[in-house]
Structure 1
């Protein structure tokens, strides 16, 4: 009896990754390219995203840059409508403005919810609309957080946005299941990225975070890439409407 190994390759697949200029998005783009996909890296900064795509091309991979702001709903939708349908979409662009709830402003709300929720929802709409029209099955990976499953002080806005993404993911998986489009979330703990690095300059904050992570360390971007490749590939062919927890045990208690 031969052993059938799960297939984590995504050769020939077209993948779109938002927030791909740095951090988690760039790491996922690198992993997808190495696994055989043609990757379209999307971010607001033209110089940053062009440099990221060129890095992948220089390594012999297929990559292109798409300089777009996902909060410009009409522009993003128009750009995606002109492109061939994608097989894989990583909805990764996001932000955070941690502060006590009493200090949260309307501008804070608009910035966090506008990118983390509104931008994510309408980006997914644009991409999946093309997938359905082309009759293309595929995988949507919404970048969530452990904070989409728990609460934390000074994180009311961020938690609200990520809890919403979890509900959105489940509902969208029901709508798109008949089209063979799977929709799941990745839920990391604190990952060392350019966005989070300033937080850990506070020793007390870092100690408090590490006390909640059962594995005793902060996450690295490379801790996310395996999960992303799993969800993008046929290795997760029966998984949809689910959350993949990469939280070092934070939510275990």
Structure 2
């Protein structure tokens, strides 16, 4: 199956490292003009140096007004990937702190709404449709110890995405989520570097392993592309069967 993003402009948040960086590079290799967004200038600079068809925007997505201004400066966008996320500190329910809640929801939910509003308004004005993929998690559908706030943000993101799909579908704008299991990026290691804890999770995954970055990227690419033209409002687990158990 050949997929091309030639003549497409794709905005990816959280693009300086991890899944976002791999995704930005893959999209660029498929002919897209990529707008990479992150608060890490160093990461963005090195990304732009690797791929000539990647433009960069450095902004802290937790800042509502600065984010709106920055995203508007990107110009017309055909596809959007809301990948940026805040790795909530591991806290039990009884230890969950208000500052953890505020930052987690500001980046994992509020920023998705903010960025998407700006991008989607342009899509509607141009009347050419578009595609949005939000990076959620298996944590939206399965309770994980010490992940009260993180699970809450991803559950909220799934439902926000469904409402987006409902309201934006008439404009030929598709909105979907991908919901990976643990992916051993820098953020993944925050919660799962401990072998004892990792083994307890692996025991619940029928395929017996965590996801690779490219396996998540593959799913996002497909959902963004015209090959998924009738897929709207889904939450796609990339979890090796974790949620089936």
Q: What's the TM-score once normalised by structure 1's chain length? A: 0.93
Which residue number corresponds to residue 187 of structure 2? 195
Spell out the pairing of 1:129-208 with structure 2 (5 A cutoff): 129-208=121-200
SS at match of 1:90: strand
Q: 1:231 aligns with which of 212, 216, 223?
A: 223
Whether 1:82 aligns to 2:69 is: no
Spell out the pairing of 1:55-74 with structure 2 (5 A cutoff): 55-57=50-52, 62-74=53-65
Q: 1:124 aligns with which of 92, 116, 120?
A: 116
Distance 2:55 2:184 in 1: 26
Q: Measured at CA, do residues 114 and 215 of structure 1 come closer, stay the same or move farther in structure 2, by a change above 3 Å? A: same
Spell out the pairing of 1:3-42 with structure 2 (5 A cutoff): 7-42=2-37
Which residue number corresponds to residue 98 of structure 2? 106
Alpha-carbon offset, residue 7 of structure 1? 4.8
Distance 1:233 1:224 in 2: 14
User: Residues 10 and 232 of structure 1 are in contact (CA less than 8 Å); yes or no, is this contact kept in structure 2?
Assistant: no
47-56 or 192-201, larger mean C-alpha shift: 192-201
Whether 1:247 aligns to 2:239 is: yes
Q: Displaced runs of 4+ in structure 1, greater than 3 A?
A: 198-201
After superposition, give the CA deviation of every residue in 1:125-147 in whole Å (9 maximum; x if it has no partner). 11111211222311000110011
Give unpaired runs (5+ residues) of structure 1. Answer: 1-5
SS at match of 2:80: strand
Distance 2:219 2:142 in 1: 21
- How many correspondences in the alignment? 244
After superposition, give the CA deviation of every residue in 1:57-115 in whole Å (9 maximum; x if it has no partner). 2xxxx111111111111112122223322011000110222210111110110111111
142-151 or 184-193, larger mean C-alpha shift: 142-151
Distance 2:241 2:29 in 1: 29
User: Residues 81 and 130 of structure 1 are in contact (CA less than 8 Å); yes or no, is this contact kept in structure 2?
Assistant: no
Alpha-carbon offset, residue 181 of structure 1? 0.5
Alpha-carbon offset, residue 204 of structure 1? 0.9
SS at match of 1:131: helix
After superposition, give the CA deviation of every residue in 1:135-171 in whole Å (9 maximum; x if it has no partner). 2311000110011112111111011101111111110
Distance 1:201 1:154 in 2: 15
Distance 2:50 2:11 in 1: 16
